[in-house]
Structure 1
């Protein structure tokens, strides 16, 4: 069992690292500035993989009533917002900066618990304050400060925080299939026709690097979600948090070596 948990943890870290690096490559290096189309492509691959997984018996998909679909809708919209705003922010910010801002979603959850659940202890308060201080001071020490990048990162973390609150505190039946509903129904509707025509001018549209990276991004996104579910089902919350922390550290560290990023000592400190 210990070996199995370690393998699941390592698989999660590998998918996390590869997913972020691939998305960053497409959005920043290839400069594919059409996140709605990028999200639509990931939707298509995710939907196909979900169907294949269902056929193989890896996941269970049950028929749903209209009331269940309506219950999924808020989480589905938030999930779409997470991907869209995250793509916008990641295209403009270095991965370590993006992950630091992404962590502030935990502050939102902590605030919700404090105000409505009265479940926050002193350790959680200190943890939330450290995360908030790091993200709050980071823009003033970022030599590559990008207002648009920080704006979309703010939208992203708000969506992440709200999504996790729904995921944690609502009934499981109300959230079952929220990601699938977003993948299969909501996100394709966000692809505007203007992007569909303007993307024809994208310089790498017919290059194998672009096609391969987009396909890899879709596959990695699906397997990252699949490994996340496995990680949370096999490990205690503290152990899951440790693996997620480790995945973020190695992703942030390797991204500095692979992508152009100017990080001052103050930026690294925060």
Structure 2
């Protein structure tokens, strides 16, 4: 049989031209280290080592810059030991809880990164649920003690609403700078706050409350924080007492916030006890 039918009858095994020859398969390159380095090429090893060192030199300052200035701190539990006393923080005040404490929304980088003026970075335009979701730091102002509002079933102290209104006027809806000292027993952060008026006039919030007579010096003896202005704070309190401004108008009938908390804690009388 000849022709095409002969090839069909014989099959591919009988035809030398259709025989498949297996070729050796070369192994795949699975090396993760450059071949030049594995072969001991000194110039290649130096080059790749230089690239790695250059990458570390570029990335490390960026990481340090981010941790120092651009890392946002949503709540007080995210504060690190180096965040206390050694640096200041810039942020927005979305709410004020009492005459001596408020909530602080950290805005890292401040105005240089667009906070407060760039579209999308104005905290005052954020809805309240978004502010709560992103988190705030509860700041207790150091050195001062304001009249107590009604809470936990305790009555309201005289001049407490006025003190709350005064602190709201000072910081509510404003961007302020704060310095943290420590965390207190109520999981708040004790610190001082200030803001600038007309770009150069610095207003210390604690000092402002003392001058208005809406707070007195903190009378506690355990873990008391005054920063570096204790003498100035005491002098401001003394002037407010002498001028009878704010809560000092009550004269001898005055019950200090410290005395008020002590008496309400033990269920005693709210009238001043003669000394």
Asked whether the two chains share a fold, i.e. TM above 0.5, the reply is no
TM-score scaled by length of structure 2 = 0.24
Q: Which structure would you say has the larger Rg?
A: 2
Say which structure is richer in helix: 1
Q: Which has the higher contact order (CA 8 A, sep 6+)?
A: 1
Q: TM-score, normalised by structure 1?
A: 0.24
